Structure 1
Amino acid sequence: MPVKLVALDEDDLAVISAHAQDAVVRAADIVWQPGDKRLVIGMSRPDWEQALGGAASPRRLISVLRFDRVLACRSRRIERDGPRARLNIVGVAFHPATPPGGHVVLMFGDGAALRLDVECLECGLVDLGRDGSGEAVSGDASLSSPARP
């Protein structure tokens, strides 16, 4: 079943992190929009509800993970110039600083990571539909931008 989730605190973000776990992300589908204080990530994620229902090979869903009120975005071990580069999400966590701000850390396989400095935690995960290819896709105007972290 498609999800539409919002996270405004650490507990909410833990739910989004669980849904995003094992998602496949292309580096080209990570879009940092500093003028809008936004980071958008297109991904192909497992349908965990179907997996928990006993499906041997759960379908994948095209999803968008969005962070608003982002002041800065830093990356580690992410190949920015490799549009074929693939990342697997391990988890997403919020580390509070001066309230209501803090840092969001997106952890990927092989030690890659994104660190977002945020005014406050404001995140959403929306499923757009089924993915027959198992890969993240781009093409939606909201996901296309030459600026990347």
Structure 2
Amino acid sequence: MVRRKPLKLAAQDADDLAVISAALQDAVAQLGDLRFDRRRRRFTAVLNRFRWEDKGPGQAWRTRSALDFSSVLSASSKRLKQDSPGAIVSLLAVTFEPGETPGGRVRLSFSGGGEMQLEVECIDALLADISVPWPAKGRPSHETPE
């Protein structure tokens, strides 16, 4: 059964960010929906999130979600086609590498080796569902090496 209550999570440290990362595993987005606003020092991403919290057999669900980071000093990317805003990416993980306390680097890792790196003054993130869930075409699976 689908849980209709929207998910809303905040992160202020690496442990909190790990929870957001788990909720976003296998989320998909268009590259044009990943944006850095240098003037506002804010990075936002709008993604179609797989609802891992809806456990059990039966229908799987996705929902539109917004991820927001404040206090972002800079953003860079590797192996992402920035000139292709319609290109689809699949998010694997969101991690934090400490730097000068409380800052560091937030890394968004995508399938195929692409990544976004955010230099942040501190971890200040919010993940919120912004749509009603819809049936997913399938459940993401990850092959484990033998």
Q: TM-score, normalised on structure 2? A: 0.86
Q: Note the 1:55-70 alignment, pairs <5 A.
A: 55-70=57-72
Q: Does structure 2 conserve the Cα–Cα contact (< 8 Å) formed by 1:59 and 1:130?
A: no
Q: Note the 1:1-149 alignment, pairs <5 A.
A: 1-50=5-54, 52=55, 54-130=56-132, 132=134
Could you list the runs of 4 or more consecutive aligned residues of structure 1 that deviate by over 4 angstroms after TM superposition?
Answer: 131-134
Consecutive unaligned residues in structure 2, runs of 5 or more: 137-146
Q: Over residues 88-132 of structure 1, what are the superposed CA-to-partner deviations in whole Å (9 max), with x where a residue is unaligned?
A: 000000111110110000000000000110000101100011354
Q: Which has the higher helix share?
A: 1
| Aligned Cα root-mean-square deviation (Å) | 1.4
Aligned positions, number? 132
CA distance in 1, matches of 2:135, 2:48: 9
What's the CA shift for 1:25? 1.0
Aligned AA (2:34): I
What's the CA shift for 1:57? 3.7
What's the CA shift for 1:7? 0.2
CA distance in 1, matches of 2:129, 2:18: 17
What's the CA shift for 1:48? 1.0
CA distance in 2, matches of 1:130, 1:112: 29
Consecutive unaligned residues in structure 1, runs of 5 or more: 135-149
Identity across the alignment (%): 38
Q: Does structure 1 conserve the Cα–Cα contact (< 8 Å) formed by 2:61 and 2:135?
A: no
Q: TM-score, normalised on structure 1? A: 0.84
